Amino acid sequence: MRKTRASILLATALATAATAAAGSLATTSGSAWYRRLSKPSWQPPAQAFPLVWTTLYGLIAYGGARALSREDEERRSALGRALAVNLALNAAWPALFFKARSPRLALAEIVVLNASNLVLVRRAGRADRAAGAMLVPYAAWTAFATALNASIARRNPSH
């Protein structure tokens, strides 16, 4: 069955929105625990994160849909699985960092997310060059978040 571009975009938008909601619910950057953590001077202000993530989630939804709509059924299925795994990893990070209060465990998880990002960018780029390019800012931001996470884990060895 051939899926329409609109139905694919709806599916990626819903999956990405669910990921964003899960991440938002797990994020407690105003908690006393988080405020007590030693953070690097180069950490962006708290208000930057929702702005950045809203943009990135839009790019993930549209870029993912664009790539999926250009694949045959077999490749679309594989790319869809890669996207689903990536979004699950994305949603898991705030739960590990904020809810489990484990910067070290979150760091291990985000390293896996970075690998998943590379796979996703490559697969999407093979399907459609522009779609792959749309996912590059997400991969770059996640790499930056990894450095930030690593710095926080290093500065707070008891957490």
pLDDT the model gives residue 3: 67
Confidence (pTM): 0.94
Per-residue pLDDT, 1: 44
The pLDDT score that the predictor gives to residue 2 is: 54
Q: What is the CATH number of the domain that holds 145?
A: 1.20.1260.100
- Tell me how many domains the chain contains: 1
Contact predicate 97/74, CB 8 Å: no
Give the residue ranges of the chain where pLDDT is below 50.
1
Question: What is the spatial distance between Cα 3 and Cα 90, in angstroms, rounded to a whole number?
Answer: 26
Amino acid 117: pLDDT: 99
Predicted pLDDT of residue 124: 98
Domain containing 84 equals 5-155
Task: List the structure tokens of 145.
Answer: 């978040």
Please give the Cα distance from 95 to 80 (Å, whole number): 23
d(CA 57, CA 63): 10
Tell me how crowded residue 1 is: count the other CB atoms within 10 A of its CB.
3
Q: What is the CA radius of gyration of the chain?
A: 16
